């Protein structure tokens, strides 16, 4: 299928050409001028090196791209010969413009076009704060607003911080290999300006099985290091090696290469790293490590001048005492949700009781990074919006959206005092979730389904925030929002918040099929909901719907209308003038 | 998560109901040894003495039982391969599939079980009790590269 499509969209297909080579970067790629990338041609057949002809705007590719040509006579997947390949690593194109790449060898030909773009010489923004809630969909925003602020006679009783950041673009999130998408290729598109395949980060997905040899593209961290003296910060409630934070720095075909990704974090050395995933920092000899080597990244980072924090208290201490570099690791895996961390004390909070939240981490990151007179790029991720939407745990997803909104508040406060700061607020992809009304325990009977209020019967939910912390005092109120996914595995709908810990809708059987988790079967009023996606799926899946992108501050005009996710990078590059050298 | 409460391990009966031809060669639970058997029971909660961001430490109980016959209850994660020599014992049934999805991880507190003889796999929501020799320390499965810190070797299991 993939090959057929490739042939169909090829700019020119020579009549009679039986096979078509694949070229990376792909057709219609947009490339920041001067940014290094790997060029690769994959031939379907085994060809002779002397038969390979490649031109870039009519000029021989070796002269046009520079770099060392690597010819691979036979690429293989185990014993299967895949064809010959040509690779040039780390080439650059200095001048903006349209480039036509023409490839031929034997009966194979392929033409692709690239657009190389420059940026103004002068940066519009000194700082960029890129706030992303993984999986953020419109329903999360609406639910967060109603849960946090309440609603009277159809009007919200208050506004979220994100409600005052102008929505400026709809983002198309599809991957290069599928209309559907994941956090690896989506964040990678934001952070490199190149779309790629599901599960890939900072590379185009080539055909060889190895995950670390795929053609690389430059990411924003590398561009900032190359062109500026700005500081870089990564804050996430997930493991720091998880797809979204990884995409700021990493290159791999497989987002699961977390031990390798941790090494890439160390290579780039963002000045501020706050999140989970300490398991990948620990040498294999330490119990709890998820490495397969003896590298001690805690020590490596400390030796590189980082102050280490492993708890909320230590974070407060190092915030006031550091040399501009902080490594904060607060969990071996992902941080717990806000609902568990701050209110219910469930999940893994018993094991890791001292986890800070996104708001504290964002504050410390801004305090630290803003000491650099050259400015900074800070990526803040609310990871659990996605991690709780997958298991259909809407209360946890929405409460984490409120926390995300409070982190946006911190960023906006900073920008108010530092108007040379661009703020971007967005998701990386969406989920198939919507609010359809309320569940009202006071409605008659015991059948929970009959307590679902729709249209006029929905009324308004009765969440309260008596202490004014922005969070509802309880999520298990008698009339609560009813969120629903348009897909999922077999599961039991309980119509109630999961107060004992995150929802696990389905569990896997010996046939590797996910079946409804019987644990929820006897919850009074629970209804069996048959799944509508393959039985191999453990949870609800990402939606293909557009993401809303909001932006304010200098450079916000770079984001307008419908944009491919990869175009967002161009907006960031322009704001920072990444096409121009800013170090002397 | 409801923990298995009573349902004492009754080996012969369970094996019969499972219809397995496995020989009940080790009547560990003969009445006289019951108290002793209880001492060698270990739960998921008892595996680690210290849990921190900078690493976990095995509990004194695990250290004492290292190399000895133990019994432990949990859930069988679906096997990596049908013919795999081991399976993963987890505290709660697996609701994600770390072997299937590139970004999913195993929980921290898994125990790898190497069976003495082949046994049929159980339903994932079924609590099982595994008996065998406890082994502590990092080990990489030569066939799969799967790294484990705690194993039960020469193991057998029955549903509870
Ligand atoms: Zn996701």
Task: Note the pLDDT tens digit of each residue in B36-76.
Answer: 445 679 999 899 998 999 999 999 999 999 999 999 999 98
Task: With cut-offs at 50, 70 and 90, classify the pLDDT of residue A511.
Answer: confident
User: Do B93 and B79 reside in the same domain of the chain?
Assistant: yes
| Interval A445-481: pLDDT, tens | 999 999 999 999 999 999 999 999 999 999 999 999 9
Interchain contact, A538 vs B96, CB within 8 Å:
yes
Q: Residue B153's domain is classified under what CATH number?
A: 2.40.50
User: Do B137 and B78 reside in the same domain of the chain?
Assistant: yes
Residues A566-579 have a mean pLDDT of 98
* Residues whose CB falls within 8 Å of the CB of residue A160, separated by 6 or more in sequence, listed in order: A141, A144, A145, A148, A149, A402, A405, A408
Residues B110-129 have a mean pLDDT of 86
User: Do B45 and B30 reside in the same domain of the chain?
Assistant: no
Which carries the bigger pLDDT value, residue B122 or residue A65? A65
Q: Is the pLDDT of residue A404 over 80?
A: yes
User: Do B95 and B126 reside in the same domain of the chain?
Assistant: yes
Interface membership of B56 toward A (CB under 8 Å): yes
Interchain contact, B55 vs A282, CB within 8 Å:
yes
Q: Is the pLDDT of residue A45 over 90?
A: yes
The whole-number pLDDT of residue B102 equals: 52
Interchain contact, A538 vs B1, CB within 8 Å:
no
Using an 8 Å Cβ cutoff, are A181 and A565 in contact? no
Q: Per the domain annotation, does B1 fall within a domain? A: no
A107: helix, strand or coil: coil
Using an 8 Å Cβ cutoff, are A168 and A554 in contact? no
Which carries the bigger pLDDT value, residue A212 or residue B146? A212
Q: Is the pLDDT of residue A15 over 60?
A: no
User: Do B144 and B81 reside in the same domain of the chain?
Assistant: yes
Interchain contact, B92 vs A504, CB within 8 Å:
yes
Smallest Cα distance from B141 to chain A, Å = 12
**A 190-209 residues with CB below 8 A of B?**
199
Give the fold, CATH level 3, of A18-117.
Answer: Immunoglobulin-like (2.60.40)
What residues of chain A lie within 8 A of the CB of B101, using their CB?
A: 256, 538
Smallest Cα distance from B100 to chain A, Å = 9
Task: Report pTM.
Answer: 0.90
Interface membership of B57 toward A (CB under 8 Å): yes
Residues A404-412 have a mean pLDDT of 98
The whole-number pLDDT of residue B80 equals: 67
Comparing alpha-carbon positions, the chain B residue that sits nearest to A352 is B52
Minimum mean pLDDT range among A388-397, A537-546, B80-89: B80-89
Residue A283 has which token pair?
Answer: 């040498």
State the Cα–Cα distance between residues A160 and A150, nearest whole angstrom.
Answer: 11
The whole-number pLDDT of residue B142 equals: 86
**Which member of B95, B104, B108 has the closest CB to residue A391?**
B95
Could you list the residue range(s) of the whole structural domain that residue B25 is in?
9-39
Interface membership of B144 toward A (CB under 8 Å): no
Q: Per the domain annotation, does B15 fall within a domain? A: yes
Other Cβ atoms within 10 Å of B17 Cβ, number: 11
pLDDT above 70: percentage of residues in chain A? 97
The dihedral of CA A63, A65, A66, A69: what is its sign?
A: negative
Residues A140-165 have a mean pLDDT of 98
User: Do B47 and B120 reside in the same domain of the chain?
Assistant: yes
Interchain contact, B105 vs A333, CB within 8 Å:
yes
Task: With cut-offs at 50, 70 and 90, classify the pLDDT of residue B34.
Answer: very low
User: Do B73 and B123 reside in the same domain of the chain?
Assistant: yes
Kindly indicate whether the ipTM for this predicted assembly is greater than 0.90, answering yes or no.
Answer: no
User: Do B35 and B80 reside in the same domain of the chain?
Assistant: no
**Would you state the CATH architecture of domain A127-132+157-432+546-551+565-576?**
3-Layer(aba) Sandwich (3.40)
**Which member of A285, A288, A507 has the closest CB to residue B124?**
A507
Residues A365-382 have a mean pLDDT of 98
Interchain contact, A539 vs B79, CB within 8 Å:
no
The whole-number pLDDT of residue B124 equals: 75
Q: How many structural domains are present in chain B? A: 2
**Which member of A256, A501, A539 has the closest CB to residue B103?**
A256
Residues A57-71 have a mean pLDDT of 95
User: Do B153 and B121 reside in the same domain of the chain?
Assistant: yes
The whole-number pLDDT of residue B126 equals: 86
Give the residue from B51, B103, B157 with the most A CB atoms within 10 Å of its CB, the best one to mutate. Answer: B103
What residues of chain A lie within 8 A of the CB of B125, using their CB?
A: 507, 515, 517-519
User: Do B50 and B32 reside in the same domain of the chain?
Assistant: no
Smallest Cα distance from B11 to chain A, Å = 22
Q: Per the domain annotation, does B4 fall within a domain? A: no
Interchain contact, A501 vs B122, CB within 8 Å:
no
Residues B127-139 have a mean pLDDT of 92
How many A-B residue pairs are in contact by the CB < 8 A criterion?
102
Q: Write down the domain spans for chain A.
A: 18-117, 127-132+157-432+546-551+565-576, 435-529
Interface membership of B52 toward A (CB under 8 Å): yes
**For helices A183-192 and A220-227, angle between their N-to-C axes, nearest 10 degrees:** 20
Which helix (H) or strand (E) segment holds residue A144: the answer is helix A138-149
Minimum mean pLDDT range among A572-576, B15-19, B97-101: B15-19
State the Cα–Cα distance between residues A200 and A566, nearest whole angstrom.
Answer: 14
* Ligand 1 midpoint to CA A280 (Å): 21
Q: Where do the DSSP E strands lie in A37-179?
A: 37-42, 53-56, 59-60, 69-77, 80-91, 97-105, 108-117, 127-133, 151-152, 155-156, 167-172
* Ligand 1 midpoint to CA B96 (Å): 13
β-bridge mates for residue B139, sequence order = B148
């Amino acid at each position: 299928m993939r090959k057929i499509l490739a042939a169909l969209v090829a700019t020119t297909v020579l009549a009679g050409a039986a096979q078509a080579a694949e070229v990376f970067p792909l057709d219609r790629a947009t490339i920041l001028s001067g940014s290094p990338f790997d060029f690769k041609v994959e031939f379907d057949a085994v060809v002779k090196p002397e038969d390979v002809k490649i031109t870039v705007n009519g000029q021989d590719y070796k002269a046009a791209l520079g770099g060392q040509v690597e010819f691979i006579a036979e690429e293989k997947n185990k014993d299967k010969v895949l064809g010959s390949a040509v690779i040039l690593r780390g080439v650059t194109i200095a001048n903006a413009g349209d480039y036509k790449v023409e490839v031929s060898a034997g009966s194979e030909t392929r033409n692709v076009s690239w657009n190389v773009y420059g940026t103004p010489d002068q940066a519009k923004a000194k700082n960029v704060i890129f706030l992303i809630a993984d999986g953020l969909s419109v329903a999360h925003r609406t639910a967060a607003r109603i849960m946090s602020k309440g609603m009277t006679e159809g009007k919200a009783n208050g506004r979220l911080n994100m409600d005052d950041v102008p929505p400026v673009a709809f983002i198309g999130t599809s991957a290069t290999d599928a209309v559907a998408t994941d956090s690896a290729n989506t964040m990678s598109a934001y952070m490199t300006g190149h779309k790629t395949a599901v599960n890939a980060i900072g590379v185009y997905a080539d055909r060889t099985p190895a995950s670390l040899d795929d053609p690389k593209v430059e990411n924003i961290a590398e561009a900032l290091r190359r062109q500026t003296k700005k500081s870089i910060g990564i804050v996430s409630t997930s493991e720091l090696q998880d797809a979204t934070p990884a995409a700021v720095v990493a290159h791999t075909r497989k987002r699961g290469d977390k031990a390798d990704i941790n090494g890439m974090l160390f290579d780039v050395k963002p000045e501020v790293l706050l999140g989970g995933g300490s398991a990948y920092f620990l040498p294999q000899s330490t119990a709890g490590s998820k490495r397969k080597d003896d590298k001690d990244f805690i020590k490596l980072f400390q030796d590189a001048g980082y102050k280490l924090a492993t708890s909320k208290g230590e974070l407060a201490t190092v915030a006031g005492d550091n040399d501009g570099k902080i490594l904060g690791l607060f969990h071996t895996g992902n941080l717990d949700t806000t609902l568990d961390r701050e209110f219910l004390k469930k999940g893994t909070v018993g094991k890791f009781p001292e986890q800070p939240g996104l708001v504290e981490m964002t504050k410390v990151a801004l305090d630290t990074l803003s000491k650099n007179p050259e400015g900074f790029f800070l990526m803040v991720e609310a990871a659990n919006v996605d991690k709780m939407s997958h298991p259909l745990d809407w209360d946890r997803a929405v409460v984490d959206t409120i926390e995300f909104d409070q982190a946006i508040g911190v960023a906006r406060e900073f920008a108010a005092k530092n108007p040379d700061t661009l703020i971007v607020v967005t998701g990386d992809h969406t989920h198939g979730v919507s609010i359809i009304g309320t569940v009202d325990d006071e409605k008659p009977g015991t059948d929970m389904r009959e307590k679902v209020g729709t249209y006029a019967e929905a009324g308004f939910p009765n969440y309260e925030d008596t202490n004014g912390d922005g969070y509802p005092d309880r999520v298990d109120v008698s009339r609560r929002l009813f969120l629903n996914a348009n897909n999922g595995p077999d599961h039991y709908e309980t119509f109630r918040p999961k107060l004992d810990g995150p929802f696990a809708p389905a569990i896997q059987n010996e046939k590797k099929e996910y079946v409804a988790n019987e644990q929820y079967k006897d919850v009074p009023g629970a209804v069996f909901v048959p799944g509508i996606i393959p039985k191999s799926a453990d949870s609800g899946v990402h939606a293909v719907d557009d993401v809303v992108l909001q932006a304010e501050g200098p450079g916000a005009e770079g984001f307008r209308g419908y944009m491919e996710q990869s175009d967002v990078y161009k907006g960031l590059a322009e704001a920072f003038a990444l096409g121009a050298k800013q170090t002397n | 998560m409801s923990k298995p409460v009573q349902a004492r391990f009754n080996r012969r009966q369970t094996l019969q109901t499972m219809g397995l031809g496995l020989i009940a060669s080790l009547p560990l639970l003969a009445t006289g040894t019951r108290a002793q058997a209880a001492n060698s029971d270990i739960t998921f909660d008892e595996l680690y003495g210290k849990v921190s961001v900078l690493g976990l430490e095995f509990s004194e109980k695990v250290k004492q039982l290292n190399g000895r016959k133990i019994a432990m209850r949990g859930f069988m994660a679906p096997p990596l391969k049908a013919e795999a020599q081991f399976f993963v014992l987890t505290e709660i049934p697996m609701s994600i599939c770390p072997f299937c999805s590139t970004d999913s991880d195993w929980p921290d507190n898994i125990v790898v079980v190497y069976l003495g003889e082949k046994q049929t796999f159980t339903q994932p929501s079924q609590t099982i009790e595994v008996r065998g020799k406890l082994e502590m320390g990092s080990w990489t499965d030569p066939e799969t590269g799967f790294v484990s810190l705690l194993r039960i070797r020469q193991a057998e299991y029955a549903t509870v």
